[in-house]
């Protein structure tokens, strides 16, 4: 490029363009920092949960249970414990052990949930009674239930929790 090409107008234009470019970069950088700060101060309140149809309440007799898989993929055991005809007759507990995530199953004779990975046990309310979950004070997650017109509904998360490394 010749010295003659460097006219005062061209220099002024380049100076303005570079100033605008740097100002835009600063605004974008501080804006991103501000957005991160706002997200830090006001974190998301949790996963989206919705009421889902489960079964006709009368279809489950006392002592029976059914397995429900939430849209998030979570496996949930729903059991009927009473026959008052109220929602308190039912309990919905996660089948995922809070210790390291193995699947628990109901042991009818012992009347408990059992986790085969490290011999964790839980009472019918989901409270840990032995094994690592008991030592850590962990319980099976419980899900809200309601009955409307004889139909049992469960409130569950619609999306799975993100896993470390981004795998789903
Ligand atoms: S994963 Fe259930 S007791 Fe360890």
What are the structural domain ranges in the chain? 3-41, 49-161
- C-alpha span between 15 and 74 (Å, rounded): 59
Task: Identify the pLDDT of residue 2.
Answer: 56
Rounded to an integer, the average pLDDT of 33-54 is 71
Task: Identify the pLDDT of residue 17.
Answer: 85
Q: How far is the CA of 123 from the centre of ligand 1 (A)?
A: 15
DSSP 3-state helix, strand, coil percentages of the chain (rounded to 5)? 30, 30, 40
Q: What is the pLDDT of residues 109-160, one digit of tens each?
A: 898 999 999 999 999 899 999 999 999 999 999 999 999 999 999 999 887 7
Rounded to an integer, the average pLDDT of 46-68 is 89
| The CATH number of domain 49-161, selected from 2.40.50.140, 3.40.50.300, 2.102.10.10, 3.60.21.10 | 2.102.10.10
Ligand 1 site, residue 54, Cβ cutoff 6 A: no
Ligand 1 site, residue 130, Cβ cutoff 6 A: no
| Cβ-Cβ contacts under 8 Å for 160 (sequence gap 6 or more) | 72, 73, 74, 168
């Amino acid at each position: 490029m010749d010295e003659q090409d460097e006219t005062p107008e061209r220099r002024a234009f380049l100076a303005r363009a570079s100033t605008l470019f740097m100002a835009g970069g600063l605004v974008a950088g501080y804006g991103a920092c501000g957005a991160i700060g706002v997200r830090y101060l006001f974190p998301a309140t949790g996963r989206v949960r919705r009421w889902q149809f489960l079964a006709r309440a009368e279809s489950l007799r006392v002592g029976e249970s059914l397995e429900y898989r939430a849209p998030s993929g979570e496996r949930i055991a729903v059991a009927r414990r009473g026959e008052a005809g109220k929602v308190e007759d039912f309990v919905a507990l996660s089948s995922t052990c809070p210790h390291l995530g193995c699947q628990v199953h109901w042991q009818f004779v012992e009347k408990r949930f059992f986790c085969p990975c490290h011999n964790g046990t839980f009472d019918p309310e989901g409270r840990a009674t032995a094994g690592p979950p008991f030592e850590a004070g962990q319980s099976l997650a419980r899900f809200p239930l309601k009955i409307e017109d004889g139909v049992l509904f469960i409130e569950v998360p619609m999306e799975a929790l993100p896993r470390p490394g981004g795998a789903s």
